Amino acid sequence: MSDHQEFNEKEEEDGLLKPHNAQKCINDLLHGLYTREYMAEHSLTGAKSSVGKDQPKPPIPRKELELIT
């Protein structure tokens, strides 16, 4: 078994290759780059919340998101 194959199997065991982890990784990056207050005052899309708030939060600048992803 190659080192690469062993590494991939270890990632699978740890759950690192599951699709939802990409979303978690981006979320962790955002929380590492921005303050908690900034994240509370912004959204990824700028779309109106389904929670029913009157005004949508401003989006995180698209250029910054493109650099992250």
Q: What is the pLDDT of residue 24?
A: 81
Residue bearing the bigger pLDDT, 4 or 16: 16
pLDDT at 35: 93
**Is the pLDDT score of 3 beyond 60?**
no
Position 2 scores a pLDDT of 46
Mean pLDDT score, 14-36 = 77
The pTM of this model reads 0.56
Task: Give the whole-angstrom CA distance, residue 7 versus residue 32.
Answer: 26
Indicate if the alpha-carbon torsion angle 27, 33, 36, 41 is positive or negative. negative
pLDDT of amino acid 11: 53
Instruction: Supply the DSSP symbol for 59.
Output: B
Cα→Cα distances 49→11, 32, 53, Å: 35, 23, 6
Query: How many residues are there in the chain?
Result: 69
